[in-house]
Structures are given as structure tokens and as C-alpha cells.
Structure 1
Amino acid sequence: MTVRKLQQKRGWAWSIAVAIVKPALLATTRHEWEGGERIPERGGCILVMNHISHVDPFTAAHIVYDHGRIPRYLAKSGLFRNKALGAFLRAAGQIPVERLTRNAVGAYDAAVAAVRAGECVVVYPEGTITRDPDLWPMTGKSGAARIALETGCPVIPVGQWGAQQLLAPYAKKPDLVPRKLIRMKVGEPVDLADLLTEPRTPQVVQQATDRIMDAITSLVEDVRGGQAPPERYDMRKHGDRRTGDPHRHEIGEDPA
């Protein structure tokens, strides 16, 4: 594995985060990374990956940071309501998402602007931790596809497995011992070239979304050494809650 030197200034927030999070990850996880060189060294791009644990943004940041980029995430707006945490997240360049409101479009605009400014934006197209009983990728939402079609930037798929061993979905306490193996495989950019000049119809956006989810699922099959179900889990068909712990009786959804 080739570790790249960070080319951009990381700022005070990332300096603090790296000093705390990276040693913690090295103490609690081992990693097998494949294809990390496919993460662009510079320029705007989107990294899209499956979502299996609340801790996987940290394990994802590990591979992105060690390949010379600072990841920018779409983070739920509730995290920004705490004054200190909000200041920290903004200083780290994270993008607030107001879920379940029309203001969610502001996150899309901010993500497009970040990509155009040369940033590496990490998106979980499923919109929430997968509800598939065996943690396979679900159907995707349209946000990543719409950002990609608007900017024409590279869309880099990543399949990951292992973070759920460190912190199971919606669990309150991590399982720190023994160290957990985190596997990640970075794929070739998703080919959306033929769709970039097409009218931005729902059908075209869905085609792009399906290609993104197909690429992610194939990579997850590789890192898991198994075969995904022939039909991806669809929360709408199963009547699932669309945010938060599915076992709690609340209503909500992540933005497309």
C-alpha cells in the first residue's frame, strides 16, 4: 500500500481529529486496503460507499486521509446545533444536511460547490445504515448521482466490510477487543459519460444511481467473499423508518 502525503492544508480541526482518531483506529483495528491509488490525488471527486456502522465514517476517513485527501462529509444538521461541535465540524469542512425538509437542497448545492472547488466529498448513497438483514447494500438515493451529473466529476466506488464488528448498527457500545479487521476496496470510476449530456430526467438520474450501487455492491462482494442478493433491499417496499434505529417507533428519512 502506498501512503500519499497530504497536499492541502488540513487546518486546526483536522489536526485535532487526526491526533485523536488515527491512534484510536490503529489501536482498535487492522486494515486491508486495495485500490487506494484510485482515489484521485487532486481535483473534485465523489467517493461513494456502503454504510454499515456509525463508526465507518472514521474508518473511511482513514483510507482517504492516508491517500493524501481530506474527506468532506454530508452530516446531519442536528450535529451542528451544539455550538462547540458545530464550530468544529464547520472548521473541518463538513456539510450540514437538514433531513426531511426542503432545505436538504442546500446540502446538494454545498456538495456541488465543494466538488467544483476541488474537494473530495464522501457520500453514502443508501442515505442511512443498511437495513438489509445481512448488511448488503440497499437501493440507493439520488444525491450522489445528481452531484456527479451536475459536475461531471469522477465517482469513485468503495466497498467496505468490518466496521460493523467494531460497532454494530445502532449499538451503544463498541467492541474494542480484539482489534477488528477493516477491509476496503476502491474501484475504478463509475462510467457515467453517456449520461452527462442527457436531459436530467428521473430516468437518467435513476440509471446513474443504479450504476453507482452496482459498482459498490460488486466491491462489497469482493471484500466479503460472498454474493449479494439478486434484488437489493428497498426500505420503501418494506415500510421501514427512513432514519435512525429501525427498532424505535419514529418517523423520518434521509434526503435523496
Structure 2
Amino acid sequence: MAELVYRPVIGAALAMFKALDLKIDCQGSENIPRSGGAVLVSNHIGYLDFIFSGLAALPQKRLVRFMAKESVFRHRVSGPLMRGMKHIPVDRRQGEDAYAHALDSLRAGEVIGVFPEATISQSFTLKGFKSGAARLAQEAGVPLVPMALWGTQRLWTKGRPRNLRRSHIPVTIRVGEAMEAPTDQYAGALTRRLRERVQELLESAQRAYPVRPRDASDTWWVPAHLGGTAPTPAEVREAR
């Protein structure tokens, strides 16, 4: 089936990243299956994460269908694009339809992208994972592919202005080995293993990141436990 929207959007994104001279360091794309269904699972630190997660699958010639909140599909600009790229709207009050849609797509051989933290982490640390990704992989009989992003929060994240005019920002992507999702394993236990793997990949991406804050005013994007001034998870919870 022709991808009349997805491929032009990819081309536009690549052109924008080239114009911004983003330094994208992606390793592990070979871990994404070249064919068949898979659940691609990533941390979530910025509004553009789905684009960079999708870019990680391009070397394998795969297009990722992301599960995203339904309100994005109602936006006058993003809505037609999201629908045209066949992403999956999620109504958090009634998630059954989105789950069934994703399950059908996996069984049809698609790669489904999931952010199991559900929302952007404002502390830039890993939040708790919902079990939906693990349950989807188990029910569809497909692998889980963990991955981690770092640096995307510097471009555009929750509570900060967009920074799309500043060039040369590095983005580090690490994709881990596919994990089997046996049906005889409790989904909660599988989710904990998945989160541990994403945490390992996140720490690897952070160690490989080529930039450190320039001065005290530039530490907002660094987690508190790494010496930055991003709010701690507890501070984020208290601010709600």
C-alpha cells in the first residue's frame, strides 16, 4: 500500500534536521526486525520523540505506527498528518479501541511504537511503565524492542519553549536487542524487565552524549541526579 503521507513527512523531517545540522548518533537499528510485527518501546522526554524513534527504524526499511493521545489527531495541522501516517489515537478514558487497533496492526506485520510512561518525563528520568506494551507483544506473539533517546528534550519539551532554531544539537539514540514476550510470563514482570533494559540504554545514551552544559544557566535539561537543575521526580509530582 502506498504511503502518500508518511514518506513525504519523513523527507521533510530529514531536511529540517539537515538544515539544523543536528548531530544524530543512532546505534542498534539492526535490532529492529526487517519484517513482521514488533513493539518498539522508548522513553519519552520531548514532543519530537516519535520522529526520532521512527528514524531509528528507517535503516531496516520499517515505518512505525505510534500510539498517541487522541487530542493530537484533533489538531488542525497534526491531525491530518497523524491519520495519514496511520498512527493510532488513544483515548485514555477508553483505551480498548486503541489496544484492539494496535493488536490488529501487529498481527498484520506492522511495527507499533509505544511510550509506556504515557506522558513526557519532566525530570528526564524514567517514570513507571504501563503494562500495555508487554501485553500487546504477548497477545500478538511479537518481540519487544527497547530503545532510549537523549537530547530531544533540548529541542522541544514540556514546560519549555521550542528550540528549533538552534543548530548543532546532538541527539543520541540507542536501540537494544529484541526481547521475547512469552505468554506464560506475568505482564507485570515482563514490564519490569523491559523498563530495566530501557534504563540501561538510557544510561548508555547519556554517557555517549557529546555535550555538557555550557554554564549554570544551561543545566535545565540535565537530571538532578546527574548534577543538573531539572526537577526531581518528587518535585514534579508535588507540582501537579
Instruction: Identify the match of residue 40 of structure 1 among 24, 33, 41.
Output: 33
Structure 1 residue 107 corresponds to structure 2 residue 98: yes
- 1:53 matched residue in structure 2: 46
For the aligned residues, what is the CA RMSD? 2.7
Which amino acid in structure 1 is aligned with residue 110 of structure 2? E
Which amino acid in structure 1 is aligned with residue 10 of structure 2? V
- Residue 225 of structure 1 aligns to a residue in which SS? helix
Any conservation in 2 of the 1:47–1:155 contact (CA below 8 Å)? yes
- Residue 106 of structure 1 aligns to a residue in which SS? helix
Which amino acid in structure 2 is aligned with residue 210 of structure 1? R
Please give the alpha-carbon distance, in whole angstroms, between the structure 1 residues aligned to 2:16 and 2:47. Answer: 15
**Cα shift at 1:50:** 0.6
Instruction: Identify the match of residue 184 of structure 2 among 162, 184, 197.
Output: 197
- 1:156 matched residue in structure 2: 145
Any conservation in 2 of the 1:165–1:175 contact (CA below 8 Å)? no
**Cα shift at 1:239:** 8.4
Any conservation in 2 of the 1:53–1:170 contact (CA below 8 Å)? no
- 1:254 matched residue in structure 2: none
**Cα shift at 1:33:** 1.2
Any conservation in 2 of the 1:10–1:70 contact (CA below 8 Å)? no
Q: 1:25 to 1:47 in 2, by over 3 A?
A: same
**Cα shift at 1:20:** 1.7
- 1:62 matched residue in structure 2: 55
- Residue 4 of structure 2 aligns to a residue in which SS? helix
Any conservation in 2 of the 1:136–1:228 contact (CA below 8 Å)? no
Q: 1:185 to 1:171 in 2, by over 3 A?
A: same
Please give the alpha-carbon distance, in whole angstroms, between the structure 2 residues aligned to 1:10 and 1:161. Answer: 32
Q: 1:88 to 1:177 in 2, by over 3 A?
A: closer
Structure 1 residue 215 corresponds to structure 2 residue 197: yes
Q: 1:33 to 1:142 in 2, by over 3 A?
A: same
- Normalised TM-score (structure 2): 0.82
- 1:95 matched residue in structure 2: 88
- Normalised TM-score (structure 1): 0.77
Deviates more, 1:84-93 or 1:19-28: 84-93
Any conservation in 1 of the 2:32–2:178 contact (CA below 8 Å)? no
Any conservation in 1 of the 2:155–2:162 contact (CA below 8 Å)? no
- Residue 33 of structure 1 aligns to a residue in which SS? strand
Deviates more, 1:32-41 or 1:56-65: 56-65
- 1:15 matched residue in structure 2: 7
**Cα shift at 1:85:** 4.4
Q: 1:10 to 1:17 in 2, by over 3 A?
A: farther
Q: Which runs of 4+ in 1 moved over 6 A?
A: 226-229
Any conservation in 2 of the 1:160–1:185 contact (CA below 8 Å)? yes
Structure 1 residue 181 corresponds to structure 2 residue 170: yes
Q: 1:63 to 1:10 in 2, by over 3 A?
A: farther
Any conservation in 2 of the 1:49–1:160 contact (CA below 8 Å)? yes
Q: May I ask how many residue pairs the two structures share in their alignment?
A: 220
- Residue 71 of structure 2 aligns to a residue in which SS? helix
**Cα shift at 1:151:** 1.3
Please give the alpha-carbon distance, in whole angstroms, between the structure 1 residues aligned to 2:77 and 2:203. Answer: 40
The percent identity for this pair of structures is: 27
Segments of 5+ residues of structure 2 without an aligned counterpart are 209-222, 226-231
Please give the alpha-carbon distance, in whole angstroms, between the structure 1 residues aligned to 2:196 and 2:139. Answer: 20
